[in-house]
Amino acid sequence: MKRALITGITGQDGSYLADFLLAKGYEVFGMVRRASTENFERIEHIRSRIHLHQADLLDQLSVIELLKESKPQEVYNLAAQSFVPTSWTQPTLTGEFTALGVTKMLEAIKLVDPAIRFYQASSSEMFGKVQETPQNENTPFYPRSPYGVAKVYGHFISINYRESYNLFCVSGILFNHESPRRGKEFVTRKITDGVARIKLGKANEVRLGNLDAQRDWGFAGDYVRAMWLMLQQHQPEDYVIATGQSHSVQEFVELAFKHVGLDWRNYVIVDPSLFRPAEVNHLRGDASKAAQKLGWKPEIAFEELVVKMVEADLERVRHT
Ligand code: NAP
Ligand code: G4F
């Protein structure tokens, strides 16, 4: 039985990846940080089938001990301060988690078992002020937030440990991916949660920022499959994972409201306080390398994703 360790298992991607690896027959270990109240909502359904260990990416010794205890063959490093706006209000903390945390994990792997295969959660946010469209593995980075800058560090330190110590490190440069398990502060989930609450009479409006921003949105369940595929290859390489199509925030809003028979213009308020100090205006990925080498392609299209998220929020809000 293969053993995998997931950091960030309580997050959106960590929970889908745990589902995926369990279905593949893996023994799954998850790193969780101590909190005064448990935050295991997304993994409640598999709690009895996974092993949770306390450690923190900020604490080197705890990461080393975690690898010694769990003895994984594969490590998926998904833990990060992942919300872009918070990276402006907590820039050094974001750097500690999202950038230096990667080095702590790589150092632990080098020390405990250099044969471990390592996946780093890189991000399309690294392309920021895009230098070409669509973006592929060779597109230069131009991050526009402290989060994006931290992810560039994590990306290059993974490449550096691959080249310096011959570790099996891969980075998945993932474009935005969403699901009913997405955190409610991210724009897609904020919209679908708002639509559900408005439709069911529990809210009158939803306040949003820049409706013109465009993203290449896919489904998180499809994207965790790509993470696993990257670690099964003979050579460690980096891959862009994306749908190849982008849509504006406004298009997402229109579809979500239309699905419940409402006109979005009656409910959406544009709030200038939600605009960012520096915006990433337009992202669109070219995942042809992943299609060719991994045989990966997304299975859920944009419209289906919007409907899936609205329906899940309607169901949840109805029962709360
Ligand atoms: P998420 O839902 O925000 O989950 C982040 C996870 O990281 C949570 O489990 C969180 O634990 C954990 N974490 C944060 N700081 C930690 C620390 N110091 N020690 C231990 N655990 C810590 O993020 P996601 O959407 O699943 O994304 C997963 C990864 O992919 C992140 O690295 C993100 O930056 C990256 N990424 C995401 C996307 C996307 O569109 N979703 C695209 C590209 C890259 P708590 O539950 O305790 O807070
Ligand atoms: O949903 P968002 O907060 O995601 P963002 O900033 O693209 O970051 C996500 O994707 C990255 C991959 O590219 C990940 F690395 C990162 O961890 C995270 O998962 O915002 C999307 C867009 C932005 O342009 C933002 O300005 O939506 C715009 N937006 C408009 N109104 C809003 C809002 N974003 C949020 N969060 N809240 C709003 O009210």
Determine the structural domain holding residue 274 and report its residue range. 183-215+246-283+301-318
Whether residues 222 and 210 fall in one domain = no
User: pLDDT by residue (tens digit) across 85-131?
Assistant: 999 999 999 999 999 999 999 999 999 999 999 999 999 999 999 99
Distance 10 CA to ligand 1 centre (A): 8
CATH at 118: 3.40.50.720
| Per-residue pLDDT band at 234 (split at 50, 70, 90) | very high
Q: Which ligand is nearest to the CA of 274?
A: 2
- Active-site residues, by number, are 123, 125, 147
What pLDDT score was predicted for residue 167?
98
Compute, in angstroms, the gap from residue 9 CA to the centroid of ligand 2.
21
Tell me, what CATH number does 260's domain have?
Answer: 3.90.25.10
Q: Is 274 in the pocket of ligand 2 (CB under 6 A)?
A: yes
Q: Which percentage of the chain shows pLDDT scores above 70?
A: 100
Task: Report which protein residue has its CA nearest ligand 1's atom 47.
Answer: 33
**pLDDT band for position 211 (cuts 50, 70, 90):** very high
One domain for residues 63 and 149: yes
| pLDDT class of 43 with cuts at 50, 70, 90 | very high
For the segment 173-196, the average pLDDT, to the nearest whole number, is: 98
Q: What's the rounded mean pLDDT across residues 236-261?
A: 98
pLDDT digits (tens, 9 = 90+) for 156-167: 999 999 999 999
Tell whether 290 is covered by a domain. Answer: no
Structural domains counted in the chain: 2
| Close Cβ partners of 116 (under 8 Å, ≥ 6 residues apart) | 67, 72, 73, 74, 75, 109, 167, 168
State percent of the chain over pLDDT 90: 100
Report CA(290)–ligand 1 centroid distance (Å): 23
Does 15 share its domain with 110?
yes
